[in-house]
A and B are shown apart, each in its own frame.
Chain A
Amino acid sequence: MWIYEKKLQYPVRVSKCDPRMARYLIEQYGGADGELSAALRYLNQRYTIPDKVIGLLTDIGTEEFAHLEMIATMVYKLTKDATPEQLEAAGLGPHFVNHDHALFYHNAAGVPWTAAYIQAKGDPIADLYEDIAAEEKARATYQWLIDYTDDVDLQDSLKFLREREIVHSLRFKEAVEILKADREQKKVF
């Protein structure tokens, strides 16, 4: 069951009016390595993963929705007051013609989101390795986004999101260790 909390996980401030950035940020909204992919991937895998790690997948999946909301907030703030001319100059003309100021799940190139971006093999090791890879890819994408803007406030939120990916990656690696359940090896706690 999901309950929504009416607050962002982390404050999002955007200081520069730069709709161009919205076009790139949308990559983390509806892109292959974005937050929607992450949330749906983990929340779907959790039905058939071994019991010991269901909690982790549920919790990280839920947190990814909070991150999706942060990206949406950034895009919303950058585009809500933009004129059609400004949006076109920012490369968002095709988006605007279809969606006006509405957000939509597509990547920076306009390719709509697809379930082909995620996988659930039913094999817990395969699933967890996909999750680790997804977190590393998201981390890298945040690095490129940080490189792309000189808005310090926007960078601040992106750095937060990048750090979360690093922590998630570690937790998935720990999940692998838990599933290895190596009886000879003394677990170093």
Chain B
Amino acid sequence: MYDSQWRDWKPYVSPNDPCPPIRVKWYIVPPNLFIPFQPMNLPQFPPEEALRRGTLWPALYSPYTSRRSVKGGKPNG
């Protein structure tokens, strides 16, 4: 579900580029882009989990994994 918060694009690669090209770049589209006004009665996390996640509402949660490849995040490919 949360993977849908990533978008990718392919930057132009020139044959003259001096360095090994990054062919795919990623960016996040966080949930606040899709919710103009939070509706009432959205489901909530229990308090301890809410604290850990940084929000009471799963609908507003946006996970982020480090892009360092050692962590298995989304490295620019």
Contacts and interface: CB of A to CB of B under 8 A. Distances in A.
Interface in B45-77: 51-55, 60-64, 66-68, 70-71, 73
Contact of A147 (B28, B37, B40, B67): B67
A160 B32 contact: no
A95 interface: no
Interface in B11-39: 28, 30-32, 35-39
A163 B39 contact: no
A159 B64 contact: yes
Contacts of B30: 139, 166, 169
A150 interface: yes
B60 A167 contact: yes
A181 interface: no
Given A10-B51, A163-B54, A170 B67 contact: no
A143 B68 CA distance: 11
Contacts of A188: 37, 39
Interface string A90-125: 000000000000000000000000000000000000
Interface size class of B (residues with CB under 8 A): 20 to 34
A107 B62 CA distance: 26
A45 B67 CA distance: 36
30 contacts: A10-B51, A10-B54, A143-B64, A146-B64, A146-B66, A147-B66, A147-B68, A149-B66, A150-B66, A150-B71, A159-B54, A159-B63, A160-B53, A160-B54, A161-B54, A163-B53, A163-B55, A163-B62, A164-B54, A164-B55, A166-B30, A166-B31, A166-B32, A166-B55, A167-B54, A170-B31, A170-B60, A187-B37, A188-B39, A189-B37
